[in-house]
Every structure is written in C-alpha cells, then in structure tokens.
Amino acid sequence: MRYLPKSPSERQEMLEAIGVQSAGDLFRTIPEQFRLKGSLQIPGPLSEAEIIKYFRDRAAENSQGYTSFLGAGVYSHLRSVVTDAMIQRGEFLTSYTPYQAEISQGTLQAIFEFQTLMCELTGQEVANASMWDGSTATTEAVLMAERLTGRRRFLVAQSVHPEYRQVLATYAHNLGLEIELIGFTASGQIDMAVLEAKLGGAGQDAKHTPSRPAPIAGVVVQSPNFFGVIEPVAHIAKLAHHAEALTVVAVAEAVSLGVVRPPVEADIVALEAQSFGMAPSYGGPYAGVITTSEKYVRQMPGRLAGQTTDANGRLGFCLTLATREQHIRRERATSNICTNQALCALAATVHLCLLGKQGLREVAEQNLAKAHFAASELTKIPGVTRAFTGPVFNEFVVRLPRSVRLVNAELLREKIIGPLPLGQSYPHLTKCGLVCVTETTPRSEIERFAAAVKQILSTPV
Amino acid sequence: MPDRIKKARRHPSQNEGLIFDKSAPGKRGIELPPLDVPPVDVRALLGDDYARDAVDGFPEVSEIEVIRHFTRLSTWNYAIDLGMYPLGSCTMKYNPRVNEFVARLEGIASEHPFQPQELSQGCLKIMAALQQCLLEITGMDAITMQPSAGAQGELTGLLLIRACLASRGNPRKRVLIPDSAHGTNPATAVIAGYEVQNIRSDARGQMDVEHLQTLVTDDVAALMVTNPSTLGTFEPRIAEVSALLHARGALLYMDGANMNALAGVARPGDFGVDVMHLNLHKTFSTPHGGGGPGAGPVLVKKELEPFLPVPVLVEKDGRLALDSHRPQSIGRVRAFVGNFGVLVRALAYTLAYGPGIRQATEDAVVNANYIRKQLEGVFELPYSSPSMHEVVFSDARQKKFGVNTMDIAKRLIDYGFHPYTTAFPLIVPGALMIEPTESESKEECDLFIDAMRSIAEEAATEPELVKTAPHATRVGRLDEVGAARRPVLRWRPPAPAKAAD
C-alpha cells in the first residue's frame, strides 16, 4: 500500500524485535469474541487515478454548468490561486495545533495576524483564533453573554439565519436558556418597538418573580440579516445597554464589512469568514470567529495567540490565556471547543492580505453595485417587487406573483438556480425568495436571469 | 558533537516581520475584473448611519510579498511532511495529497449547500458512501456527519443520550468520566447539561469495574470511555462495563479518538458501545492544518437513530435526499451538512485502503510496540499493560537529574522531531505519550529511538543542556506567563507621528 513505508522484511524485523510472531499477537488484549474474523465490507483499495475518477464522476452529478443566485450564509467570491498555494504548503497543512511554540511560529504568527484583521474588520478589540463556523460562533457568543451577565433570557431577531437559530435552540434547550424571537418590520429590520418594550418593560430589575419575566441577558441580531438587510446595530445596542443587556451581532457575509459600518457598539461579534477565500464546498469547512472587548476576553471561548518574548528577548508568539480552555479547566472551561478551523482562518488571512485595504473595498463596492443592478432589473418585471425597504448589501428579497418553487423549477431548464424560497422558514413570506449577487456574477447572467423570470411570469399558469 | 543528532542540522531560516509592517499605500495583491454594471455611491445608497470608509488597519502589499511572507512563516513550522510527529492521542499520520486534490475539484468545492438536491446527487453520494464505510468499520447502526470536530461530536452524542433517556422517561443527571479522559469529555458533558463525576483508574490504568459498579446508579446517564484508553490500552472488560450500564438503564459512550488502533480489527458496535464519535482528522487522515478543520461524525445503535440531528441523509425512489422532518431529532448542531470538504478527504482516504485499512492499524500498533520495546528500561513505564497504537512512559528516571517530560520534549526538537504529548494523561505524572502512527518507516522509528536514548543520556550527564532546550530553533522557550499576564493579542498601528518640525 502506497501510504505505508514498510517492506515485508522490515515488518518482520520489527515483530522479531518486539518478540511476537505476527502483528495479530499484538491485539490479544481484545477479547477473542470481539476480534474481527473476516475482512471489512468496504469498497477499495483504489489507486490515485481511480480515486480521482470516482470524485470527478461525482462532481459531474452536481450543478456544473448552472448559474446560481444563492447566498443565505454561503457566498461565491473570487479566490486567488495564491491562497490555496499557501495553505497547501505542507508546513501549514500537516502541522498540529501550535502548542509547541518553538516549532510552530509560522502558524502562531499567522493566527496573530488573523486576530488583528478580524478586530480591524469588526471594530472590536480582541478576536479568537477561530470557531467552527458562523452558526456555532453565534451560539458560543450567546453562551459567553450568559456567563458575563449571569442571566439566561435572550431576545433573538427572527431575521437571524434560520439554521443559526436552530443551532442556538439545540444548545439552549439543554442549558435551560430562554429564547424569545423578535419579528421584523416592513424594512426587514428587527421590530424596534417590540424590542424596546421587551427591554424597557418590567422585569429588568435584579429580582424577578414568577409574574415578571426574567431579566434579559442579551439581544441577538444578524447584520446584514438573513434577508440581506442591514440592521440598526447602534440603536439596538443602545437599547440593550440601557437594560444592562449585551448585544450579540452575527455577520454571515463578511465581505459586507468592506462598505458597511462595523458593529462597534456590539459587545460580542460572531463572524462567518467563509467569504474570505473559502469555497462553498457544500457547507464547509468554513471559519467562524468571535470578536469582543478586551474586558470580556477571559470569558471568550476558543484559542488565542499572544505576543511574547524568549529568554534572549526575541519576539515570538504562543497560545495564551489557556486557563479558559478544556484541556486545562476541563468541566469548568468556557467551551468544549478543541480542534477549530485553523487552516480556514489561514486561508482568510492570506486572502485578506492579498485583497488589502483597497481590494476589500473594491470587492464590497462591486457586490453592492451588482446586487442593486440585479434588484433594479428584477423589479422592472411586472408583479415583481422588493419585499423589504431597508438598506441591503449583496442580497435582497423579491416577492413574485407566483410560487418561488414553481418559478425556480422553470429556471432550472435555463440552467439557472433561482432565489432561495423563504416560505418554509417564514410562512408569511410565501412567494418571497432571497437573491444573492456577488462580484463573480457577470452582468450578462444577471440579465439572462431577469429575462428568464420575465418570460416565466408572462406565461399563463 | 556532530554525530549525536542524526535527523536534522541547522539551516538558515528567513526573518519576517508582521504583514502589517510591509504595508505601504497603493500596493495591492489582487486585481479585480472591471465592474460591468453602473458604479454606486456607497454613502448615497446605504446612508451615513450604515456606510463605512475603507478598513484602516488592513495591509497594502503585493502578491510576491504575500507569497514570501507566508512561505517564510511556513518554514518556521514542523509538519508531518517533514517527519515523525509522535503526539499521543492526536494520530498525526500522513495526509494524502490526492485528498486535497479531489476536495478542490470543480463540481465539489463549488457546490452550494442550498442548491436543489437533484443537482447535488454527487455530494450526497459522497456522504452516503462515507457513511456506509464508517458504519461498517465501527459496527454501528446509524450516523450523523454534521458535527464539526470531536468535541462537537461528543456533545451531539451526549444530547442523543439525553434525548433517548428522556424518551424513556428521565434524562438523568450525571455522566461518569474516567480520570484518564481527554479534557473535552468533561467540558462537553457540562454543555449537554450533565454533572460530571470523575472515576479513577485501577492499578493497571484500566477502568476499575468493581468501583464502577458502586457508582452506576439510576442517576447516571452514561459513561464516557476512550477505548483504547489514553494509555493506549484496550479495556479488556469493556463488554462487562456495557452490560453493567445497560442493566441500570445507562448508556455507553465511546470517544473514538483512538480508533486508529481498531480499524479493521475490532468494532465498537460489537463490544457494547451505544454511541461514539470519530475524529476524521485523526484516524481518517484529514489534515490538522495547524488546529483544524476536523469533522466528528457520531455513530449510534438503532435505539438512538430517531434522535439524530437534522437533516438526515435518506434514499427516496433511488435518489438521495436530506430529510429534516424528524420529530424526535435533537435539532441541528451546526449550519448546513457539516464540514463536507473534510468528509470528501476522509472518503478518499478510506477508498485508498479499502478493507486493507487493517494493515494501517497493524503497522501503527507495530510501530508503537517497537518503540516501547526499544525504550523500555531507558524511560519508566508506569503501567505495564500491553500497548496498542501508543505508549505512555513517565519522566520518573530523569526527574532524579532535575529533567522533566517537558524538557525532554523540548530537547527532542533539537533532534529534528516534534515532541510527543507531554503531561497527559493526567493519571501519569510527568507523562511522555508517544503515538508514532503507521506512517513512520522503521528508519524514522529508529532515529526517534536513537534520539530518545541520547536525550536520556544527556539528562544524566548534561542536564542543563536538556533543561534549557531547544537550542536550534528560531526562538527559545517563550515567556508564557508574561504572555498571559499582559496579553498582546493583536497588532496595533503605530500612533500617528507628530507633525515634523
């Protein structure tokens, strides 16, 4: 087998040195009845060429040749070949978590640079080395807010990604956290009147009784939210702070921060960095990250790289504040996270260094321009309107005169993957679909999409 | 002493500052195709409340500077591609390059998780094929591949146990965890809403079944066991433990971190395990990447299947589909289907071996036992129970000279190796936990043995040399206490210079 570096005679030599007849003798501590008699019923062995063929055949069964207008937490953006070349260097790809700092300075410095970039991007003071993804980062941000406030009730915008909310619900259920959903208005933004009433109403006193609701630990919003609409984070945070509650802001489309004001007023930001150099890859791997204020760092989950010196005063980096983590603190850790998404965070770092200050700005401006061009093309079609009035970045919700599913089925014939139907997650948004346009969508495809929708809608049902 | 260190010698490595230090206005590393729609005015469109200017602290550098920066940084890392990485319990094996290639194919990397399922049959077939392989290798009945890593797999597993027990009438209060367990086990149990009760190992480092008997009450939801244990020893009474738990209505959870000792040889499903997770970034060769990404599939027995996270992969009319209508499901543990790209790599690995994966397991166990045999007598073996894929020594003999496991580990760096796992498991004071994996040749194992013997000799004759190691690295031992006391967690732009006089 090509991955195994021993010749039969070397194996024999080693067995003799150990003092056993065969490798099977080394498994004798496994009770006889549990030792497999036959061989496993799995396919293979395959040569490299056969493996490549197998996966090329699978690739051909997917969506190649289709133009997609899907976003909803996963975005197709330009990626430089440089990013993949760098993260495939064996010294990054095949190294372990940098616990042994002296021979992990490359990874550690890159994490330090990642943390810096994430702070600059989100307008926060500290960032961790990565979380699993945006959904789990959001959940961990909520758990962090629970620890910081000692309160257990959260107000969560209904416009937060439905799958992010489902993940939060799974964790919250077992920890006894109370989740209350706050709706949205015609702008597509969180209903500020309801939020204000909940936050300002009775029950924010230290003591609560069965007749009064528990004090609120935090408000959770996503911006741009699931509808692509930018939330009034500054205003939300002001209300929350007045009630001594924290504000958690999830950002699923990180490129937006190239033109959208960062959530500086938020107490905790949970960012999905997939847009920075990571392929959609059918759902992962991506990289989540949490950013926050320095004063909250000791309640932050996940690894952190810090700058320090050796005995000779040479500058270096090491993992730090590990007393928050499971390998030191065990059942009293801030989180159970161990393996994170380090290589994805490295991809984001390389990608952002390539883009730089100007490049990020340009990508974000192109997304903004193309999404608005697409929105104006689509809303020229009779019966097609924008569902919400709030400001958007590269996604927006259209309301069609017909079922989105039926329109999408027709679009597939044109090799177009149409808007994401919202009816299932938001029953009163039937006939509404979420459209995403990025810098990778050519104008000609936007026009073809609009023409196809127009054609479909002009045909009697 | 040119001959003492055989695997490595010094070689210049490039100096490199932070990327931010290279920044100068006007440089760039990417150029975009020109905008093909009318440009927009950001402030006019978003309004002053929502618009921002360019991100100030972002660097401005050219493509070649980015290449040199990260290439230079990379040369400061040790890696499997450079040599043996004997970290116990981490299974640092070869990460086949073809896996990277296929994960990046157009039509695989390019796929969106919300695209129609009829246009995702290739992705779903990949998932189905890996599920079948993992079920066969573990002997379990059903699986979810959603968890992002081992720790999330553990959480998912415990939530499944909780849901299962709740459906029987009582989710119970406590989870039992041996004192030799990985730190994620207790941390996870707490997030699953359970109290942790630590249980001690017996004199052989194995589970004390008689003691366990007194602990399993009607309050106990599950026992979390790592098998082989973190000492690298198979728990010989595992079936008895399982029966004991089942008799009291509790379940057996197995941490599959050490599955590299069992694949193709024995199946947890056969020896009484109810729920387990796998670390695809360990046994199934997906790259650690400096700390992730991984994937932590969870495998269960039939009774727990209704509770699996949504969506579940199902077959309908000859087509694969993701089914979210599962009324008893614990819910979702992360967005989308999981770290799909990691699943692709794990399947490529499994297909490369096929049933021959047993040979990999045997070689891993041969390597560990060979190293054990050659170092026995040089280092203290605190537990003499037979080793499988890893061996745990202690620093008891070197302590006499004031040299501890961390010192030996750091000195190993000078010899061209990554250190073994230090100070774990907690039941062995001053542990040296060595897991060579099947990826090491006899030659590499011999070099390692030679290095360890040489360091033992140094510990006795020149302890200072060992205590102040490493000596050949770019930086020496770092001031970790200072780093934690005054955390510097990010670069900050220099304060704007005062206007020149």
For A131-141, the pLDDT digits (tens) are 999 999 999 99
Residue A37 has pLDDT above 60, yes or no: yes
Mean pLDDT (whole number) for A51-64? 98
Q: Pick the residue of A55, A290, A352 with the most B CBs within 10 A to test the interface with B by mutation.
A: A55
What does the alpha-carbon distance between residue B264 and residue A122 come to, in Å, rounded to a whole number?
A: 48
Q: What distance in Å separates residue B501's CA from the closest CA in chain A?
A: 30
Place of tokens 């026009």: A447
Please judge whether B354 and A42 are an interchain contact, meaning their C-beta atoms are less than 8 angstroms apart. Answer: yes
Which tens digits make up the pLDDT trace of A144-188? 999 999 999 999 999 999 999 999 999 999 889 999 999 999 999
d(CA B344, CA A281): 10
Q: Is B497 on the interface with A (CB under 8 A)?
A: no
pTM of the model: 0.97
* CA B473 and chain centroid, separation: 25
Sheet holding B220-226, edge to edge: B142-144, B298-300, B275-278, B251-256, B220-226, B174-178, B195-199
Q: Which has more pLDDT, A208 or B389?
A: B389
pLDDT grade, residue A200 (50/70/90)? confident
Asked if A56 is an interface residue toward chain B (Cβ–Cβ < 8 A), one would say yes
What is the predicted pLDDT for the residue at B54? 87
Please name the residue that has the structure tokens 């897991």.
B435
Q: DSSP string covering A190-231, please?
A: B-HHHHHHHHHSTT-SS---TTSPPPEEEEEEESS-TTSBPP
Distances A174 to B158, B173, B474 between C-alpha atoms, Å: 10, 12, 47
Q: Do A17 and B36 make contact, defined as CB atoms within 8 angstroms?
A: no
A-chain residues near B440 (CB < 8 A): 5
In angstroms, the Cα distances linking A68 to A65, A365, A366, A448, B104 are: 10, 20, 17, 12, 19
For residue A48, give the nearest of B359, B264, B102, B80 by alpha carbon.
B102
Q: What is the pLDDT of residue B352?
A: 98
Is pLDDT above 70 for A201?
no
Mean pLDDT of A121-139: 97
For an interface test with B, the pick among A2, A6, A42 (most B C-beta atoms closer than 10 Å) comes out as A42
Determine the residue among B19, B21, B30, B154 to mutate to test chain A binding: the one whose Cβ has the most chain A Cβ atoms within 10 Å: B30
Judge whether residue A460 has pLDDT over 90: no
| Residue B213 burial (CB count, 10 A) | 13
Residues 6+ apart with CB under 8 A from B284: B278, B345, B346, B349, B350
Residue type, B351: L
CB B395 within 8 A of CB B430: yes
Q: How far apart are CA B476 and CA B474, in angstroms?
A: 7
What span, in angstroms and rounded, lies between the C-alpha atoms of A300 and A129?
11
CA pair distance A391, A399, nearest whole angstrom: 16
* Mean pLDDT over each residue of chain A, to the nearest integer: 95
Burial letters B76-94, b for 16+ CB under 10 A, else e: bbbbbbbbbbbbbbbbbbb
Confidence of residue A374 (pLDDT cuts 50, 70, 90): very high
- Distance, in Å, from the CA atom of A130 to the CA atom of A98, rounded to the nearest integer, reads 14
Q: Tell me the pairing of strands A153-157 and A178-182.
A: parallel
Residues in A 198-257 with any Cβ partner in B closer than 8 A: 230, 232, 234, 257
Q: How many contacts (CB atoms, under 8 Å) link A and B?
A: 695
Nearest to A171 by CA among A212, A143, A197: A143
Of B76, B373, B490, the CB nearest to A106: B76
Q: Flag whether pLDDT at A114 surpasses 90.
A: yes
Q: Hey, what amino acid is at B388? A: M
pLDDT tens by residue, A4-15: 999 999 999 999
Provide mean pLDDT across the span A426-454: 97
Count the Cβ atoms, other than its own, within 10 Å of residue A415.
15
**Looking at the predicted structure, is the pLDDT value of residue A264 above 50?**
yes
Name every residue whose Cβ is closer than 8 Å to that of residue A243 and which is 6 or more positions away in sequence.
A199, A200, A204, A215, A216
Cite the beta strand spans of B250-381 per DSSP E.
Answer: 251-256, 275-278, 298-300, 312-316, 319-323
Ranges of residues in chain B with a pLDDT under 50 are 1, 500-501
What are A449's two structure tokens?
A: 């999409």
Helix, strand, coil fractions of chain A, as percent rounded to 5: 45, 15, 40
Q: So what's the pLDDT on residue B500?
A: 45
Closest-CA distance, A244 to chain B, in angstroms, reads 24
Q: Mark out the alpha helices in B439-493 (DSSP H runs).
A: 442-461, 463-467, 480-485
**Confidence (pLDDT) at A202:** 44
Given this model, what pLDDT does residue A328 score? 80
Instruction: Give the sign of the dihedral formed by CA B92, CA B97, CA B102, CA B103.
Output: positive
Task: Residue A61: name the closest of B247, B443, B348, B107 by CA.
Answer: B107
| Structure token digits, residue B342 | 């990691």
Q: Which residues contact A195 (CB under 8 A, 6 or more apart)?
A: A155, A182, A219, A236, A239
B247: CB partners within 8 A, 6+ apart: none
Alpha carbon distance B61, B26 (integer Å): 8
Helices (H), B63-104: 63-74, 97-103
The full length of chain B comes to 501
Q: What is the pLDDT of residue A444?
A: 98
Neighbouring CB atoms inside 10 A of B226's CB total 22
Q: What is the number of other CB atoms lying within 10 angstroms of the CB of residue B14?
A: 12
Contact (CB, 8 A) for A296 and A144: yes
pLDDT for A203 equals 46
In this structure, how many other beta carbons lie within 10 angstroms of the beta carbon of residue A186?
Answer: 9
* pLDDT-derived band at A120, boundaries 50, 70, 90: very high
Residue B438: list chain A partners with CB under 8 A: 3-4
